[in-house]
């Protein structure tokens, strides 16, 4: 069964304190792994797509990496505006996205 598990469920950081979010997955034929950011009361907003193990992508303070079993979202020197829920999803054959439960990140000044 295709499945995505994110950890931790919640993460509280001080401004400038770097950390990582984890996304473990099992899928029959990974076509792509997606990271989204979701702010309260809004829909998810696309961040990255990763296609194969070893791939990395960066955007400002965020860097996403991919292995054959998991992906990490590294946050370097976070700021309060990085506070949000981060969602991981895998694309199964047929195109549908399967989402994890998300990690709620809070960055305090």
Partner 1 sequence: DAGITQSPRHKVTETGTPVTLRCHQTENHRYMYWYRQDPGHGLRLIHYSYGVKDTDKGEVSDGYSVSRSKTEDFLLTLESATSSQTSVYFCAISESTSPNYGYTFGSGTRLTVV
Q: Which residue, 40 or 109, is less far from partner 1 as judged by CB?
A: 40
Closest distance between partner 1 and the C-beta of residue 76, in Å? Answer: 23
Helix (H, G, I), strand (E, B) or coil at 95: coil
Q: How far apart are CA 33 and CA 52, in angstroms?
A: 9
Residues in contact with partner 1, counted by CB under 8 A, come to a total of 24
Handedness of CA 79, 46, 6, 43 (dihedral sign): positive
Q: How far apart are CA 38 and CA 86, in angstroms?
A: 6
Q: Which of 42, 60, 68, 109 lies at the binding interface for partner 1 (CB under 8 A)? A: 42
Q: Which stretch binds partner 1 (CB under 8 A): 11-19, 42-50, 53-61, 66-74?
A: 42-50
Q: Which stretch binds partner 1 (CB under 8 A): 10-18, 56-64, 71-79, 86-94?
A: 86-94
Judged by the rule CB under 8 A, the positions of this chain that interact with partner 1 are 31-32, 34, 36, 41-46, 49, 51, 87, 89, 91, 94-102
């Amino acid at each position: 069964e295709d499945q995505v598990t994110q950890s931790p469920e919640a993460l509280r950081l001080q401004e400038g304190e770097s950390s990582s979010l984890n996304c473990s997955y099992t899928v029959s034929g990974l076509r792509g792994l997606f990271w989204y950011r979701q702010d309260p009361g809004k829909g998810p907003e696309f961040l990255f797509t990763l296609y194969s193990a070893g791939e990395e992508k960066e955007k400002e303070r965020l860097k996403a990496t991919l292995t054959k079993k998991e992906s990490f979202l590294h946050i370097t020197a976070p700021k309060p505006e990085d506070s949000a829920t981060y969602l991981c999803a895998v694309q199964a054959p047929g195109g549908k996205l399967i989402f994890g439960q998300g990690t709620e990140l809070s960055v305090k000044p």
